[in-house]
Chain A
Amino acid sequence: DAGITQSPRHKVTETGTPVTLRCHQTENHRYMYWYRQDPGHGLRLIHYSYGVKDTDKGEVSDGYSVSRSKTEDFLLTLESATSSQTSVYFCAISPGQGPQAQHFGDGTRLSIL
């Protein structure tokens, strides 16, 4: 177990409400990532972080923001959720660049009605 906890595991909410997903790691890894998984698309990168307060956009970042105020926590926020953001969200961590594999959390299933 790579020491990654995602919360909540499941959430149902309504369009227009703000939603925050949390990723917590106990590995002290530098890199953290948020992906979304949708049928027919595999996993797509939303945002990632390469250190405290250092973040960057991935390929599907519109409608999402992130924050990392501590090494162990990486938050993903949907400011005003839309039905198109219904998905399974995965957090991943990595110790560094190169061939180190990313280790994934168990995912959060988010449904926006």
Chain B
Amino acid sequence: AQTVTQSQPEMSVQEAETVTLSCTYDTSENNYYLFWYKQPPSRQMILVIRQEAYKQQNATENRFSVNFQKAAKSFSLKISDSQLGDTAMYFCAFMKHGTNFGNEKLTFGTGTRLTIIP
């Protein structure tokens, strides 16, 4: 079974600064996908960014980027030029790759509550 660990329950940063959220995972799989989801106070779950494990290049979406270290099983999220709207709970998630039923399930970490301070 896969496990996802987010060791920072809470973080805060000044507006416009850069912040990095940590995520580690444990798996015996070689091919898989990793995701970061954002949950603002509205409770919606919003996809922030995804990474395919077979891709060496780190994914980037505007101000959001990841540092994917496959050997270390680490998948951190960097938010640049942080904005007040980035205040949210952030979840790291893992999905196995493959065509067998069950491989499309997500395993989530426990989340990091990020507060952007004006």
User: Of residues 21 to 56 in B, which have CB atoms within 8 Å of A's CB atoms?
Assistant: 33, 35, 42-45, 47, 50, 52
Instruction: Check A58 for interface membership: any CB of B closer than 8 A.
Output: yes
Residue interface bits A74-113, CB-to-B below 8 A is 1, else 0? 0000000000000010101010111101111011000000
Whether the pair B99, A48 counts as a contact (CB closer than 8 A) is no
Instruction: Check B105 for interface membership: any CB of A closer than 8 A.
Output: yes
Interface size class of B (residues with CB under 8 A): 20 to 34
Whether the pair B105, A48 counts as a contact (CB closer than 8 A) is yes
Whether the pair A97, B98 counts as a contact (CB closer than 8 A) is yes
User: Which of B62-70, B77-85, B107-115 lies at the interface with chain A?
Assistant: B107-115
For the complex, give the distance between the alpha carbons of A27 and B33 in Å.
23
For the complex, give the distance between the alpha carbons of A62 and B43 in Å.
25
Contacts of A42 in B (CB 8 A): 4, 6, 91, 108-111
For the complex, give the distance between the alpha carbons of A88 and B95 in Å.
22
Instruction: Check A14 for interface membership: any CB of B closer than 8 A.
Output: no
Contacts of B95 in A (CB 8 A): 99
Whether the pair B52, A104 counts as a contact (CB closer than 8 A) is no
Known: A42-B111, A97-B98; 20 extra A-B contacts, CB below 8 A, are A33-B105, A42-B4, A42-B108, A42-B109, A42-B110, A43-B45, A58-B105, A88-B43, A92-B45, A96-B104, A97-B104, A98-B33, A98-B104, A99-B33, A99-B52, A101-B47, A103-B47, A104-B45, A106-B43, A107-B44
